[in-house]
Amino acid sequence: MQAADPVIDGQDLQLLQQAAREAGRLAMTFFGQSPETWFKDNKSPVSEADLAVDRFLEAELLKQRPGYGWLSEETVDRPERLSCDRVFIVDPIDGTRAFLAGGSEWTVAIAVVSAGRPRAACVYCPVKDEIFTAQSGFGASMNGTEITVSARPTMNGAILAGPHSIAANDDVARAGVQRSEYIRSLAYRIALVADGRIDIAAARKGPCDWDLAAADLLVQEAGGLVCDLLGNTVSYNKADVRHPTLIAAPDQLIGEAIGLVSKASGA
């Protein structure tokens, strides 16, 4: 595998930021315009906007980095990505349900992954004009200002965002944890942990690489961790892109959060 190179990572991050902003502008031309929509086999919606943004990002990013692999929610998987040193992992519109409903929290999420871990990442929320960025070893920022995870010392009073089955669980309430409004973009949900606006984000079993990779690096670089219920970090660009139940939290809350989410999810 190619060794980590902070110069290349920095150049990749610049590319991701520019592409994410342009992709966001493209997506906004469909936003609120009732784009043509249909359902995938897994019953999740996809629209002509998702596909247009996906085509744009694939053309733009691979034109600049023709040797990189490609993995996107809206593109048929290509096994050759598994042998690439660096891979773009993309969700052209994360939170399509929010996008179609006129919500504000949908995002464009892009990461460059090498040796199983994200090296550069961008999560862009066009409606709010919030762009979250991170480079491995160089911190995370939102609109150019450094961000850090919450400094809350215990779960009591913590804000948790996640699916109803976890966030509204009785054990969660008894622990003094407050329930956030549901955030339909998983990438944005995790990005808000990196920004310290919420303390813990949870995702039930089944998220994919494209939902996670970019936001994972944001949390890591902001002083937290995205992990499974055994405390293992997530490895990307494998043959199987799906993952188990996951949490994102500041380092000091990881142990308590794992215990609580494990109970709430029945794991």
Query: Is 198 within any annotated ligand binding site?
Result: no
Yes or no: say if 199 and 158 are a contact pair by the CB < 8 Å rule: yes
Rounded Cα distance between 17 and 232, Å, is 29
Q: For residue 257, report the phi and psi dihedrals to the nearest 5 degrees.
A: -65, -40
Instruction: Give the residue from 220, 230, 219, 233 showing the smallest Cα distance to 259.
Output: 230
SS3 of residue 67 by DSSP = coil
**Does the annotation place 9 within a ligand binding site?**
no
Which of 66-74's residues contact partners 24+ apart within 8 Å by CB, and which partners? 68/112, 69/237, 71/209, 71/210, 71/237, 71/241, 72/210, 73/208, 73/210, 73/211, 74/46, 74/50
Q: Residues near 196 by Cβ (< 8 Å), separated by ≥ 6?
A: 147, 148, 149, 150, 151, 222
Q: Does 91 belong to an annotated binding site?
A: yes
211 annotated as a binding-site residue: yes
What strands, in cross-sheet order, belong to the sheet with 145-146? Answer: 69-72, 86-94, 107-114, 117-125, 130-135, 140-142, 145-146
Residues 108 and 101: beta-carbon distance below 8 Å: no
Annotated binding site: 73, 91, 93-94, 211
Annotated binding site for Mg(2+): 73, 91, 93-94, 211
